[in-house]
Amino acid sequence: METGMNAAAAGATGGVGEEGGVMDYRRLYIGGQWVEPAGAGLIEVLDSTSEEVMGRVPEGGVGDIEAAVAAAKAAFESWSATPVEERAKFLEAIAARLKERQPDIAAIIAREVGMPLSLARSVQAGLPAMVKASYAKIIREFEFEEQQDNFVVAREPIGVVGCITPWNYPLHQVVAKVGPAIAAGCTVVLKPSEVAPLTSFMLAEIIDEVGLPAGVFNLVTGYGAVVGEALAGHPDVDMVSFTGSTRAGRRVSEVAAATVKKVALELGGKSANVILDDADFEKAVASGVGNCYFNSGQTCSALTRMLVPRSRHDEAAAIAARVANGFTVGDPRTGKFKLGPLVSATQRDRVVAYIKKGIAEGATLVAGGPEPPEGLEKGYFVRPTVFANVRNDMTIAREEIFGPVLSIIPYDDEEDAVRLANDTIYGLGGGVWSGDPERARRVARRLRTGQVEVNGGRFNALAPFGGYKQSGNGREFGKYGLEEFLVIKAMLL
């Protein structure tokens, strides 16, 4: 972390200033320069554990989006014609610096979002560097042109891309969009979440250090209703890539429709974890609880609905309760606890309201509850919670909670399990457990969801990620993520 800079110096350079422990950014990154925002407003970033101000960023406005889009548009012709090898070298340079700054990135996100520091190092800081580097390899091997019969199919960069990203994986979700977009030859205007924006400024600093051509990457912070809508509706933006809630995704689509631009959406989820009757229940249930609680449940693809055979429901509930009670809750920076806080007071209150709703609707509370964890007077903490005897029509089984709340739903047979799993407006993630791998795959193929973990299959940054139904459209990661930012041209010979 850069230290020894006061807030005034930070504002002059775009670097991070530390004044009383507060990271102070006063300028936006537009056209290869740190520039004064159109307005004087600042957004405070809160530490999710202490509830104290840990940073400030500019409250950008429509004028800032206009300037950023103009810079991106001016840079597009040159950048889109830049040789693949040169683009790949830039990606590798950015990835190397992200790796160097991994400890600082992890420390910031642990404070912003609440993920325990050890996990933040490997996931929140480690994955972005890996994903960025992966696109250097992908574009070196990708066929941007191919001959067929009497025509050539050319895959060309779509143009200026507006990237709007969430707070739960603040740098990872940024890189999942910015990485493939600039790899494809597009130019970018990034609007990160105002709740956890600080690592986006670190990325801008790195991009400036490596000398990425001016205008290829631009950063504007602010609120979605102002800068997000201005970006999505701008006539010179050729594509919007958005990750966030389904409600916000609908609004982005509405605004973008006026200019008929491409929109890629990665939205909410209410993913089912189908544990079949021949599975190793101890392993499957414990793994499912851990998946649900990862990042304090602040994961769009979290397996929040656990579907178990009715005859083994009580067994599953007992295992889940035991495992949940082993999830210690506390300061994520100490390395002593499995769960940190939620990101904000708003999110904490929302999750607690869902827990109360589950109790009111008759689900059986077997672990956790709405009361704050003992001894944690400050911070946005929620007790890891498990509900049993949940019906699929209950609110806690229908709506995305985004907290450490698991619903256990009994089913009658395999057909019933598939029916229940698919009985949702969402289709982002899923899981299937069986003692027979082929049976697990057969059931996985029947789930209408974009990604399925089979017997606890591990995350892979090259595997396509995205949703069915109201979980969105388009895919991220690997060559599939690259293809989202390309448009096809046919040249008839």
Q: Does domain 272-460 have CATH number 3.40.309.10?
A: yes
- Topology of the domain comprising 7-267+472-492: Aldehyde Dehydrogenase; Chain A, domain 1 (3.40.605)
Active site residues: 266, 300
pLDDT value of position 6: 34
Distance, in Å, from the CA atom of 457 to the CA atom of 163, rounded to the nearest integer, reads: 29
Spans of all domains in the chain: 7-267+472-492, 272-460
Over residues 275-293, mean pLDDT: 98
- pLDDT, tens digit, for every residue of 91-112? 999 999 999 999 999 999 999 9
CA dihedral in degrees (251, 182, 102, 36; nearest 10)? Answer: -70
Domains 7-267+472-492 and 272-460 share a fold: no
- The whole-model pTM stands at 0.95
pLDDT (tens digit, 9 = 90+) per residue, 26-44? 999 999 999 999 999 999 9
Residues 6 or more apart in contact with residue 435 via CB below 8 angstroms: 276, 278, 279, 280
| Res. 15: pLDDT tops 70 | no
169-190 per-position pLDDT tens digit: 999 999 999 999 999 999 999 9
Residue 346 CB: number of other CB atoms within 10 A?
Answer: 11
What is the distance between the alpha carbons of residues 160 and 181, in angstroms, rounded to a whole number?
Answer: 9
